[in-house]
Chains A and B, each alone.
Chain A
């Protein structure tokens, strides 16, 4: 167990690599109840969210979710979030564990009008069932028609007899579901899922595998790969920045629109270590003799059998194929910019 965002979290159950491979090839079950849930309700909720998020909330129909961020006026994320539209005027914003209090205060300071902001984090446990066999495992435990539930869609239903929001979302690069249930139902749902998934090869998976899975899929970790000093465009998240007129103005729009149109001075790139060594978070990065920055995420990639990572490079020297060095405990190890995502699931 390790402390993470104020929670005690299991790093691994049966072994990180076994769990990672189970999610890629069969299925894995994660307890991600540490994630926070903020609710916005009221006729002004949509307009408020348009002002404080980067993506176009107006495109969501009830039952649809969207990856987004809460930018500051400099276009840098206070957090990255998923916005769930539960009804015309009711939204759930899922935020990172370590940022719950900060996000709540940030949103409150933006003066929500015509809506109520509530921290519902204590009302939800969150289980993530991920992997190519996730639908097969969940099918027998829910009345929700999973075959018609598209990517980033959700339904309010039940799982194993307990009320649940069943969302087709995740942080692994695989098909799968995130299940919001009441905290006192979490253990029963967890147990029922593991039982139902036994023959399919479902295993419990920990924080360690979650991190390697998300990195292979080039999903970013807030606080490592982006923070309040990196703009969304620099982080490669221009695709969640909407400059649509219908969305209107929002925090950081001017900076982000300019960078979307003309490019940002630096860019988060994916790299592969071509020498011998594992690049890890915080290791120094240099281009020639010039110190450039640090590895933001780095690991051995269990499915790919390669040592991969992410780091910021000057935009003019960030093309695929660019060679640079990562300093591994005092030793310079060659690395090369590669296309991302490192891993893309077969469809």
Chain B
């Protein structure tokens, strides 16, 4: 079920009403059933994969807690392997085979891979990572193993964030789901604001940018360099609006049930450096990699060369997490390289100490760099990415679709203005501090935009594919 569908807009109020109508002891059942229904609207039988993950990690955590020494490690490895193998099978099987085939061909040998034609279970990377964080936390002794299978299942399945995050920790979401929630006006109003804002960002910004970007990426070399540059910049806004919109709706939907989930974005394009960008972009994934990969590899407490290697590993794995393609690895690697560069140049330019003008220039620099790197993320393969780069520097008079461009550029400008106004704050909190007239003027504007200007083509949330 998509957030931007009538199905969801009917489903959510029903769940919220039932939730508060039910006594606390039955609420977990409602969340469980609602989440299963939500997920099964995509590919029904894929729910079995989620049940498998839930069961394995639930039992593993109890086993880890109950055992000591080597046994604990074995149970952890079993749990992690189950998750990773599942992910590998569905997401990386064909990718691995293709690469083995290419390796064989390098030596003149033949290898005929079996290509699986299966649809990737929606959001698999998200719920496997979320579930893995739980068993790791139990292993480290920072989290008690959950004995109630229903609560644990809801932690993995919770419908507002199950298919594209934020990737929650059990300490946060698990406990939130157990709390006795009373229907509070504040939660309803904040939840409504967030959902309205999220829908606006997804449907009016991302979905109005998508047609322009898609047309340029379909055949970059037939477009003028200006058109291609604009599509590169606009894609940055598209993916941000798409994912930020989703996360905001997730936040709002959870809040209607009294559940607080973490923020995933804090105005990332106002970052003055790549390091800052990663502290503001897809925060739940960045912190996951920091806690479960970067720090175990040694974190900052290693020699510079080792740190550089660790950083590159984390970013490349993060790239691969997004998709089974070398273009995603390249996207991650380039971010890693830029971060290394920033570390080396830190003595020359310290982002924290620069003046306003210089900071603005650094923000523009960071935006241009991240936009150029997004090309690898957006392009289907290296050939297409190369074509986009060629088109950026070609001196020709190609196509320029002004009709879709103005709508796309206008939508992106609105998002940028919104971010400048929010300065990393959460929309509901910022809005609740405004006078009544400003609040309702904004609501009216958002509703009008949503009703009259939302994109009319169907574009699924980009991050659903991960």
Q: Are A and B genuine complex partners?
A: no
Interface residues of B (CB under 8 A from A): none
Interface residues of A (CB under 8 A from B): none
